[in-house]
Amino acid sequence: MASSQILEKKKKTVEELADIFNCNGVYLFDYRGLKVSEMGSLRNRIKKLGANVKVIKNRLAIKFFEKEKMPIGRDLFNGPIAVAYSNEKFVETAKALVEFEKESKKIKIKSGFIERKLVSPVQISEVAKLPGKEQMLAQLVFSIGMPLRRFGSALAAPLTHMLVLLKNLQAKKEKGGQI
């Protein structure tokens, strides 16, 4: 009876892994050497972004990838593994994880999945260099708005020049000068 409950619990955990690995950004890292307080600090930093950190069991992760028929090697899942994952802010999550790796030097990013494709630690570092979603939207709005401003200035320029000429003409008339 107890073994069937354990099997059900493991099946449920494998299903939870499906939710994790279907996120847009999933980053696997070795957390060996982290103190509990340091792991808490990392979790808080990641949670502020709306992302999560979870320690996973290697055997269950391997079972998940076998079930999905994805050729993910067992060498990826050896030693203590944790995942940081996010759907919306996966670039910011990568930034936070890479920064924490540089600061603490106690975690090691092993690999990850970006939009369900396996990526290397080098590729994760490159993603971390990208601007965040808000910054990208601001740049987009700026790049769309600038030509409109320039167009408006170009349309207003002849009117501005005409007003300057009329003011100069009026000033000349008031001085009693010839037109």
Report the distance separating Cα 92 and Cα 48, nearest Å. Answer: 10
Whether 126 and 146 map to the same domain: the answer is no
Q: What averages of pLDDT result for each successive group of 10 residues across the chain (179 residues)?
A: 73 78 85 85 87 84 78 76 85 86 84 84 80 74 77 74 82 76
Whether 177 and 156 map to the same domain: the answer is yes
Whether 46 and 79 map to the same domain: the answer is yes
Whether 74 and 23 map to the same domain: the answer is yes
CATH number at residue 97: 3.30.70.1730
Q: Name the token pair of 154.
A: 């170009």
Whether 174 and 145 map to the same domain: the answer is yes
Residue 155 CB coordination number (10 Å): 9
Q: Name the token pair of 134.
A: 């808000």
Whether 142 and 117 map to the same domain: the answer is no
Whether 179 and 112 map to the same domain: the answer is no
Q: Name the token pair of 97.
A: 């994880």
Q: Name the token pair of 59.
A: 């055997």
Whether 53 and 126 map to the same domain: the answer is yes
Looking at residue 125, its pLDDT comes to 80
Whether 92 and 139 map to the same domain: the answer is no
User: Comparing C-alpha atoms, which of 113, 75, 69 is closest to residue 94?
Assistant: 113
Residue type, 179: I
Whether 37 and 113 map to the same domain: the answer is yes
Whether 120 and 136 map to the same domain: the answer is no
pTM above 0.75, yes or no: no
Boundary of a domain, candidates 107, 130, 153: 130
Residue type, 124: I
Q: Which domain holds residue 135?
A: 131-179
Whether 111 and 85 map to the same domain: the answer is yes
Give the SS3 label for residue 69: coil
Looking at residue 1, its pLDDT comes to 46
Report the distance separating Cα 32 and Cα 80, nearest Å. Answer: 7
Structural domain count, the chain = 2
